[in-house]
Structure 1
Amino acid sequence: MTEFTPLASTAGGMMIGLSAVLLMLWEGRIAGISGIAGRLLPPYLDKAFPSRLAFVIGLVAAPLAMMAATGAPVAQTVSSNIPLMIAAGLLVGFGSVWGNGCTSGHGVCGLSRLSTRSMVATAVFMTVAFITVFVVRHVLGG
């Protein structure tokens, strides 16, 4: 079971929101992780490359910094089923491309801009997530 952590969750949400606002302010860009990460490869090696790289490095470094600061391990998804994890990653990548954005782009930035497309995308993400959790926990017994 996942722990109920309202203070840590609120602080994390505030930091995500702040980073999205700062990226929009400084770069004029939406903080969609799939778009930022996807533009780390050629032909997108432009003047914004260093800020995109710093953003992705921050995503990787943040849990490591948290672990160093608290001494506690950071919650993560772990599975010994490598083919399942590969399939899940490919499905998420495909969904991000097909949906013109990921959960961070639509759920955080799109909803705050009252984008109808983002509202629909986020509703679909959440519905599929609820169904997936139900099936994995209650049907498959995982």
Structure 2
Amino acid sequence: MVATPFTPIASLLGGALIGLAAVLLMWTAGRIAGVSGIVARLFPPYEDRQFAGRLAFLAGLVIAPILVRLVTGSLPTQTIAAATPLLIVAGLLTGFGAVWGSGCTSGHGVCGLSRLSVRSLVATITFMATGVATVFAMRHWS
């Protein structure tokens, strides 16, 4: 079994930054910070005045690890013990789930729950339970 590192301070800071970003996006643009919706609306047929903001939000997701590397001199260790075909299937299922669930984990779990959305509560319970079941199955049955 692979040990998972316990990083409460980094996790707390990361969660606070995600919350701050969600609040700032809602405050400045009146938009919910759901990454799947932001990315989907970068492509046709969507056309609105939010394109530059959406692009900046996505750029922030890409630039953040680069900034971590510049500030600390290294990146956090990442270990993915899965074959490429499994990762492709997982990515497709995640994308399908975001479309089918009308939002992703950030949209439902961060923004939807803070707005007391029942739909987001059901979505969050569903993806958290599925995640727990998947980790349990992968660690104990594979």
Q: Normalising by the residue count of structure 2, what TM-score does the alignment of the two structures yield?
A: 0.93
Identity fraction in percent? 60
After superposition, the C-alpha distances for 1:48-83 in whole angstroms (9 at most, x for unaligned) are 000000100100111121122112322445356221
CA distance in 1, matches of 2:78, 2:23: 26
Question: What is residue 93 of structure 1 aligned with on the other side?
Answer: 95
User: Secondary structure at the residue paired with 2:43?
Assistant: coil
Number of residue equivalences: 140
Structure 1 residue runs of 4+, over 6 Å off? none
Is 1:69 matched with 2:61? no
Unaligned runs of 5+ in 2: none
TM-superposed deviation, 1:2: 2.2
Instruction: Give the Cα–Cα distance (whole angstroms) in 2 for the partners of residues 73 and 102 of structure 1.
Output: 26
Answer yes or no: is 1:35 the counterpart of 2:58.
no
CA distance in 1: counterparts of 2:54 and 2:113, whole angstroms: 22
Output the CA distance in 2 between the equivalents of 1:130 and 1:80.
17
Range with bigger deviation, 77-86 or 107-116? 77-86
CA distance in 2, matches of 1:66, 1:96: 28
Inter-CA distance 76–53: structure 2 relative to 1 (3 Å threshold) = farther
Structure 1: unaligned runs, 5 residues or longer: none
TM-score scaled to structure 1, two decimals? 0.93
Does 2:136 align with 1:134? yes
Match of 1:23 among 22, 25, 50: 25
CA change 1:38–1:77 in 2 (3 A) is: farther
Q: Residue 7 in 1 paired to residue 9 in 2?
A: yes
